[in-house]
Structure 1
Amino acid sequence: MLRSETAASPERTVAALAGLKAYQEAERGPARRPAPIAAEVGRAKLLDYGGDGPAVIFVPSLINPPTILDLAENNSLLCWLSAQGVHPYLVDWGAPTADEAKMTIGDHVEGLLLPLIDALGEPAHLVGYCLGGTMAAAAAMLRPPLSLVTIAAPWHFDGFPDDARGGLKQLWESSEPAARDLGALPMEVLQTGFWKLDPARTVSKFEMFGRLDPKSDKARAFVALEDWANDGPPLSYGAGRELVEDLFCGNATGCGQWTVGGRIIDPALLPCPVLDIISSTDRIVPEATAARAGKVITLSQGHVGMVVGRRGRTALWEPLAQWLSQVQHRS
């Protein structure tokens, strides 16, 4: 990818490699201490961020760690919300075990997410980010929450560009035999697919990083975000197969064929208030993939920038806090 993107500019190749080396060698501060555990079901945990007000369960994607919602001391959506009259909880999916190779995305909802919701023992909002929003919609159908909020959540998978879907299919076909033998799909395979969604940006961001003062706030923020993006446990083989074959290639959700817990999941039929937050500039989960159920808010931030970018607080955090407070008052 680096060769193809910088073939006409050898100096860009050198700059990108220098930036990559600088990132690899950058100093890391101490890891953030995880929040207390409010409930635990198998490998999955529900982390308690405290606060007064209605409970809000945040459902992250199975891809990458859940820490994007609590990235740094001065950049944490969950910590900020805990001071805004709501009580956030965060699902940590953990890493799949050897005996969970067949566990699908729907199985994660039915076997882990629903029991965590039940264990909380009080009415709660559900907020799902990325694939976590797709999963939260299924949970909301089976356990109606105070409200459902989906953030950059794919539903109509045929809204992804054809080349992206085709590339992921080819990647899966080449890696599927090894994934079947392992019982898991390594994060590195998925990361390759994400890089191919926007290869120009993947290269240019390391060129940019190589020019930064390594002790600057911007450099530290870059390292924290890239560490998150390059981390995460593997998907169980069943979840990887379902993600690629049924959702990306088959568009089972968009076609009304995705079944969880014996029910077809349809966001338009959810028995609770729904807010769908999407972005017109999201290259990871394009606007065309959104379910557009309930009330829709359209942002102009990127997939990750809407959560941790410098404009995230006014664009996403504040409208989200307002929604959660208003819906609670109407309930």
Structure 2
Amino acid sequence: MGRASVRDFGGHGPLVLFVPSLINPPDVLDLDSDRSLLRWLATQGMHPLLVDWGAPTAEEHDLTVAGHVETMLLPLIDAIGAPVALAGYCLGGTMALAAAALRPVTALTLIASPWRFAAYPRKTRVALDELWQTAQPATDALGLLPMEILQAAFWRLDPHRTVAKYEAHGRRDPEEPAARSFVRLEDWANDGPPLTRGAARELFIDMFTEDLPGQGKWHVGGKLIDPAALTMPVLEIASTTDHIVPASTTPAIGERIDLSLGHVGMIVGGRAKSSLWEPLAGWLSQATQPR
């Protein structure tokens, strides 16, 4: 609703609404014809839908992460008008969990979704706090946090891996498929609209600094969000090698699949289909059966 829209990937079967992060475009879930989780799911007895958050407007500068759930995600779920499962990726999973606490969805999947922010390494939280202190004056003046600053935040989570991937790319033939795939993925990773000032404050202060979700103090839609109170089937997919959302930061509810793939590699990497796509399809098929 509002600036948010839904992309429909067709297919016949249970409706599954995928909720991407507010950071970066939603395209990682439909990167290209060979690396699209959602196009593949549409051939596996699912009817996947994808939220596209769009770009913030001038009137939305103080819209928080919770506000995106309240004013966009919940109305989208209501507008679908049929039983729907939710699947959230990264911060989108944090938001999907809140929506699942406020609407009767059939099932919930959380893919690399942070909840217990205090479980991030201390040096990471300190670095992100320093970044926010530097960025806050400009964010307050603009009403927005530019994508470039968000990308710098990701680099701080694992700077050595960031340098190493560009070194490896520099040794590739620009015409080889791996080089073109790398560029396509980097185009996605370095693109995206800015965060609203309200969402940035909530992310950096209420989540990373204060850990309101993990402390049981995050309110959305006038309700305290408690993962343990969810009654629908829940699947968590986490990675033991993810530096953006470490496995220790997830809510730790429901069934769980632990992978040894990176934050993005688990979605579009060479082992993504066998490690994540196929188990996810199998679980959704079972979890969305009428009860």
- TM-score normalised by the chain length of structure 1: 0.87
Distance, in Å, in 2 between the alignment partners of 1:248 and 1:144 is 29
Structure 1 residue identity aligned to 2:194: P
Gaps in structure 2 of 5+ consecutive residues: none
Structure 1 residue corresponding to 2:2, chosen from 28, 42, 57: 42
Is the radius of gyration larger for structure 1 or structure 2? 1
Distance, in Å, in 2 between the alignment partners of 1:235 and 1:279 is 26
Distance, in Å, in 1 between the alignment partners of 2:46 and 2:5 is 20
Mean alpha-carbon deviation: is it higher for 206-215 or for 145-154?
Answer: 206-215
What is the CA distance between 1:215 and its match in structure 2? 1.3
CA deviations over 1:266-321 (Å, ceiling 9, x no partner): 11111211111111111111111011111111111111000000000011000110
What is the CA distance between 1:330 and its match in structure 2? 4.8
Do residues 257 (structure 1) and 217 (structure 2) align?
yes
SS of structure 2 residue aligned to 1:90: strand
Percent pairwise identity: 58
Structure 2 residue corresponding to 1:276, chosen from 236, 240, 254: 236
Q: How does 1:26-175 map to 2 (within 5 A)?
A: 41-175=1-135
Structure 1 residue identity aligned to 2:265: G
Distance, in Å, in 1 between the alignment partners of 2:230 and 2:145 is 32
Distance, in Å, in 2 between the alignment partners of 1:300 and 1:201 is 15
Which residue of structure 2 aligns with residue 198 of structure 1?
A: 158
Distance, in Å, in 2 between the alignment partners of 1:174 and 1:328 is 46
What is the CA distance between 1:248 and its match in structure 2? 0.3
Which residue of structure 2 aligns with residue 208 of structure 1?
A: 168
CA deviations over 1:76-133 (Å, ceiling 9, x no partner): 0000000000000000000110110110000000100001111111101100000000
Which residue of structure 2 aligns with residue 285 of structure 1?
A: 245
What is the CA distance between 1:214 and its match in structure 2? 1.0
Gaps in structure 1 of 5+ consecutive residues: 1-40
SS of structure 2 residue aligned to 1:329: coil
Distance, in Å, in 2 between the alignment partners of 1:247 and 1:104 is 12
- TM-score normalised by the chain length of structure 2: 0.99
Which residue of structure 2 aligns with residue 5 of structure 1?
A: none
Distance, in Å, in 2 between the alignment partners of 1:179 and 1:228 is 23
Which residue of structure 2 aligns with residue 33 of structure 1?
A: none
SS of structure 2 residue aligned to 1:206: helix
What is the CA distance between 1:260 and its match in structure 2? 0.1
Distance, in Å, in 2 between the alignment partners of 1:73 and 1:124 is 25
Q: Contact 1:76/1:308 (CA < 8 Å) preserved in 2?
A: yes
Aligned length: 291
Distance, in Å, in 1 between the alignment partners of 2:141 and 2:26 is 27
What is the CA distance between 1:174 and its match in structure 2? 1.1
Distance, in Å, in 2 between the alignment partners of 1:199 and 1:178 is 24
Distance, in Å, in 1 between the alignment partners of 2:47 and 2:168 is 38
Distance, in Å, in 1 between the alignment partners of 2:237 and 2:14 is 20
Distance, in Å, in 2 between the alignment partners of 1:71 and 1:159 is 30
Distance, in Å, in 2 between the alignment partners of 1:219 and 1:144 is 44
Which residue of structure 1 aligns with residue 142 of structure 2?
A: 182
Structure 2 residue identity aligned to 1:328: T
Which residue of structure 2 aligns with residue 34 of structure 1?
A: none
